[in-house]
Amino acid sequence: MTAENLHKIDTSKLDEIINQYGGKKSNLIAILQKVQEVYRYLPEDAMIYIGTKMEGLSPATVFGVATFYAQFSLEPKGKYEVKVCDGTACHVRGSMPVLTAIKARLDLKDGQMTTNDGLFSLETVSCLGACGLAPVVVINGKVYPQMTSDAIKIVLDTLLKEEA
């Protein structure tokens, strides 16, 4: 670990979260969810800290859990987390053109999850259970039903205008 990232994470905040869950190894997923809420992703140092601090865990084990579940991100997510449903129903009703439209509007390259300004992050998820509204996009928990490439552009334009 280099000197500069020594202070990147606030260990007292992590201690607080760990203690909130009784420091129990069986609560690791809940702890990681809380940490992700704070940092919008799981910083490497946070995983290492949790792995050394909590009994019965190690950094490698925590990393294993964090990479097993799709809900955890090792890269910082954007202020707006855009989730495009690509379950069967959404897929056949055209979720892929919506995804392409979002990538084009936000200027995201292949494999890039978060915009350079850190405002938006994009991911596909499997079924959200709202198949009747397909194709569905969820932005920070708000559901946008029956999206088209034109409709999603309007949604994004509105958010971008608010941020400008």
Partner 1 sequence: MTEENKKTLIIEGKEVEFTDEPNLLEVIRKAGMNVPTFCYRPDLTSFGACRMCVVEVEYPNGRRMINSSCTMPPEAGIKVHLNTEKTRRIRKTVLELLLANHDRKCLTCERNGNCELQQYAEEYGIKDIRFPDKELKDYLPIDDSSPALVRDPNKCILCGACVRACTEFQGHSVLGFANRGSKTLVQPMNGRPLGQVDCVNCGQCAAVCPTGALSIKNDTDKVWDEITNPEKTVVVQMAPATRVALGEMFGLKPGENTIGLMNAALRRIGFNYVFDTNFSADLTIMEEATEFLERLKSGQNLPLFTSCCPAWIKYLETQHPDMLHHLSSCKSPMSMLSPVLVELVPKYFNVKRENLVVVAVMPCTAKKYECKRPELGKDGRADTDYVITTQELGKMIRSAGIDFNSLEPEENDSPFGEYTGAGTIFGASGGVAEAAVRTAYEFATGEELKPVDIKEMRGTTNRSKTVELDIKGTKVTVRVVSTLKEAEKAIQEIKDGTANFQMLEVMACPGGCINGGGQPRSCDDSTVKVQRAEGLYKEDSELPFRKSHKNPSIQKLYNEFLEKPGSHKAHEMLHTVYNNKFAGSYKDV
**Where does this chain bind partner 1 (CB under 8 A)?**
1, 6, 9, 11, 44-45, 47-49, 51-52, 57-61, 63-64, 67-68
> 94 CB contacts (<8 Å, ≥6 apart)?
135, 148
Q: Give yes or no for a contact between 141 and 125, defined as CB atoms under 8 angstroms apart.
A: no
Helix axes 11-20, 28-39, angle to 10 degrees: 140
Shortest distance, CB of residue 61 to partner 1, whole angstroms?
A: 5
Shortest distance, CB of residue 64 to partner 1, whole angstroms?
A: 4
Shortest distance, CB of residue 69 to partner 1, whole angstroms?
A: 8
Q: Which is nearer to partner 1, 24 or 116 (CB)?
A: 24
Q: Which is nearer to partner 1, 64 or 145 (CB)?
A: 64
Report DSSP letters for 14-31, one per residue: HHHHHHHTTT-GGGHHHH
